[in-house]
């Protein structure tokens, strides 16, 4: 099988972790006799510095010509809290989502037995937690118009906008995942306050009738944030709007013990993007200490969702699990033991796959 991917390392530790993930993809393709074709492209602060645009047209063309995108991270201290910056790296991420039609972000939240001790929650609360957060990506307050500031700069405003079509698309996707899992869906909103949330609930309640085999529940976002901490094992599939999803998925990721362990997939109408959930971690740039496992696990998601290669995805996860058991890990999860370099962890996993 021929696999064609775009590789967008991005900023900070992005190039280091993506390099290891790409080597993993090469090892799997060699093992299973696939042909892997890839092209690298600029995005984020690196792209601004080079061509003045965080998501250049050439990068978009390469993504559109690919079956999947392997993405690192976006963000640079040079642009943080800099009011004089005319364009920001994060605008590249929003542009990529919009132009590729990346309407759904999929974040599996699973625990690793060897890392449960690093969770801020008690072992009995998190051991066995396994749920999926589905976040709508192209609507809501991040994209709503109008937005801006008054002429005197004393007032700022953003507008949250959703259409029935956008909500139906993401709710149906969530039901599809629930049917493949434990058949429970939690729709998260703030319908007691927000008009857009009331539309979300109205649409979900209409679609609920089409999926009688799935248990559907509705939960206000503040309650959901509380329930993730109190009893995360109660959730199976959670679906919500853009900003709520941004916050809840970060909260959920922390309970597993390490941000460096969780992958994500952004499902699109043109192609799909696979990336770790953590940021660019500029303090670690060039030090060869960043955890590559979330990006390597994103490769597993890529094999699974972009190419329907289940055995290949399983092989990647098995290699990651083996590295955890053997304690071949970076400093963030070394727990006082030997801390391996980013490149050393990556090489161990590729050697395991070969």
**100-146 pLDDT per residue, tens:** 999 999 999 988 887 888 889 999 999 999 999 999 998 999 988 99
Catalytic residue among 142, 162, 211, 340: 142
Catalytic residue among 49, 67, 130, 250: 250
49 labelled catalytic: no
How far are the Cα atoms of 73, 174, 249 from residue 177, in angstroms, in the given order?
Answer: 26, 5, 17
| Nearest CA among 69, 66, 65, 52 for reference residue 8 | 69
What is the per-residue pLDDT for 337? 84
Catalytic residue among 177, 246, 341, 352: 246
246 labelled catalytic: yes
CATH number of 1-101+270-354: 3.40.718.10
What is the per-residue pLDDT for 279? 87
**Tokens 């039609």 belong to which residue?**
101
* CA 38 to chain centroid: 21
183 labelled catalytic: no
Catalytic residue among 79, 189, 190, 211: 190
190 labelled catalytic: yes
What is the per-residue pLDDT for 156? 95
142 labelled catalytic: yes
Number of Cβ within 10 Å of residue 120's Cβ equals 10
Residues of the chain with CATH 3.40.718.10: 1-101+270-354, 103-265
| Confidence tier at 333 by pLDDT (50, 70, 90) | confident
Task: Report whether CATH 3.90.420.10 matches the domain 103-265.
Answer: no
Q: Is the peptide bond before 146 cis (omega within 30 degrees of 0)?
A: yes
Tell me the average pLDDT across 234-262: 90
pTM for this one? 0.86
Residue count of the chain, please give it: 354
């Amino acid at each position: 099988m021929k696999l064609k991917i775009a590789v967008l390392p991005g900023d900070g530790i992005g190039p280091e972790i993506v390099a290891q993930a790409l080597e993993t993809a090469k090892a799997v393709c060699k093992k299973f006799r696939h042909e892997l074709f890839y092209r690298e492209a600029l995005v984020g602060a690196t792209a601004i510095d080079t061509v003045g645009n965080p998501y250049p047209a050439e990068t978009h063309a390469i993504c559109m010509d690919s079956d999947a995108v392997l993405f690192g991270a976006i963000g640079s201290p040079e642009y943080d809290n800099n009011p004089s910056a005319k364009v920001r790296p994060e605008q590249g991420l929003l542009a990529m989502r919009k132009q590729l039609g990346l309407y759904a972000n999929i974040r599996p939240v699973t625990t690793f037995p060897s890392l449960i001790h690093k969770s801020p929650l008690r072992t009995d609360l998190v051991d066995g937690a396994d749920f999926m957060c589905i976040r709508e990506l192209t609507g809501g307050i991040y994209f709503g118009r109008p937005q801006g500031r008054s002429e005197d700069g004393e007032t700022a405003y953003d507008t949250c906008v959703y259409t029935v079509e956008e909500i139906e698309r993401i709710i149906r996707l969530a039901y599809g995942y629930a049917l493949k899992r434990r058949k429970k869906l939690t729709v998260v909103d703030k319908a007691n306050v927000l008009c857009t949330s009331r539309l979300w609930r109205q649409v979900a309640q209409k679609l609920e009738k089409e999926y009688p085999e799935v248990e559907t529940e509705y939960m206000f976002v503040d309650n959901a944030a509380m329930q993730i901490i109190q009893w995360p094992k109660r959730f199976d599939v959670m679906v919500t709007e853009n900003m709520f999803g941004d916050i809840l998925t970060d909260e959920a990721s922390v309970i597993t013990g390490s941000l460096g362990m969780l992958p994500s997939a952004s499902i699109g109408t043109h192609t799909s993007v696979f990336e770790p959930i953590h940021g660019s971690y500029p303090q670690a740039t060039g030090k060869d200490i960043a955890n590559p496992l979330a990006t390597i696990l994103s490769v597993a998601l890529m094999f699974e969702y972009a190419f329907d290669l289940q055995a290949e995805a399983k092989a990647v996860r098995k290699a990651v699990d083996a590295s955890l058991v053997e304690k071949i890990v970076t400093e963030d999860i070394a727990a006082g033991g030997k801390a391996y370099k980013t490149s050393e962890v990556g090489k161990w996993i590729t050697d395991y796959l070969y």
